Structure 1
Amino acid sequence: TRRVAASERRHSGEIRICVEAGLPMSYLWRHASVRERAVMLFGKLRVWDTAHNNGVLIYLLLAEHAIEIVADRGIHSRVDGAAWEAMMQRMSAAFREGRFEDGLTQALEEISALLVEHFPLGEGELDVNELPDEPVVL
């Protein structure tokens, strides 16, 4: 929570972290992908509902050892898919080594750097916190 809040004081973007133990049965029955679940939660958690369309969701699915990053169209149009994929790969490598906090912190810092680059706060502008900073645990 503190790291997300500190990040968001530097840019106009919004970052949400969602951790889920396992896919709901409805997803398992229809063989839905982890990405599909992440996109659904991106909507349900209203990450898309920001003034500059620059929300980012970090989704961790524990049972599948899966990571997804879903970026709203404002930031996604400025950062190519390879950059998001590379972030997920670095986070996954840290997690495999048991460095969970380090991996998540590094990803958060990388996302923050992109948001600062593309959506910096203007001179004297204060961040409007549009979404909660607390991670969601399902």
Structure 2
Amino acid sequence: MPQHQKPLLSRIFKHRWTDQTDLARALPATSIAGLEASIRASESRHSGQICVCVEAGLPMSYLSKRLSARQRAVTLFGKLRTWDTEANNGVLIYLLLADHAIEIVADRGLNARVSEAQWAGIVEALRSHLSKGQFEQGLKAAIDAVDALLRAEFPLAAGQKNPNELPDAVVIL
């Protein structure tokens, strides 16, 4: 077997081996419920929308084309309609369990107001939690950090309510 195929085969095995059972161990139902409660509470304080998506492993089509977790997150940002908010302030927090990869994709309304360093800080904090196996705590910290950005940039006026344009459920793939 040529040397250049080994990393691809290794990655394919890792992504096929990591499945819904691993995902359920990392984020049991009580953790999912807690994250969804955090999203709901966050969205009561600003006009933005937060979507959390957790995937066990990449689809074979991504693996065979050697596509990255970032490319998958951008695709899911569109598929989950995170971009489809009136103020263009939706944010996708994506966790790829097989690679412990974290991606945050923000719509242009928020992304124009947040520096790359701020996004990198959120990702690094989440990565630190993941390295310790603290999946729920890491995702909760990421939700809280995105919440702080959205409250600063898209606060609700007195008496205003967030129209909740996207479901608050954690998307499990």
- What's the TM-score, normalizing by structure 2? 0.78
Equivalent residues in 2 for 1:28-107 (5 A)? 28-107=63-142
Identity within the alignment, %: 57
1:82 Cα deviation after fit: 1.4
Count of residues in Structure 1 that have an aligned counterpart in Structure 2: 138
Instruction: Could you tell me which runs of 5 or more consecutive residues in structure 2 were left unpaired when the two chains were aligned.
Output: 1-35
| Counterpart amino acid of residue 137 in structure 1 | I
Match of 2:149 among 106, 114, 129: 114
Alignment correspondent of 1:27: 62
Provide the rounded CA distance (Å) in 1 between the counterparts of 2:132 and 2:100: 13
- Structure with larger Rg: 2
Q: Which runs of 4+ in 1 moved over 3 A?
A: none
Q: Which has the higher contact order (CA 8 A, sep 6+)?
A: 1
Provide the rounded CA distance (Å) in 2 between the counterparts of 1:43 and 1:98: 29
Instruction: Could you tell me which runs of 5 or more consecutive residues in structure 1 were left unpaired when the two chains were aligned.
Output: none
Provide the rounded CA distance (Å) in 1 between the counterparts of 2:80 and 2:152: 25
- Per-residue CA deviation, residues 35-88 of structure 1 (Å, 9 max, x unaligned), is 000000000000000000000000000111100000000000000111111111
Provide the rounded CA distance (Å) in 2 between the counterparts of 1:35 and 1:100: 19
Alignment correspondent of 1:7: 42
Identify the structure with the greater helix proportion.
2
Provide the rounded CA distance (Å) in 2 between the counterparts of 1:32 and 1:97: 26
1:104 Cα deviation after fit: 1.2
Provide the rounded CA distance (Å) in 1 between the counterparts of 2:64 and 2:117: 31
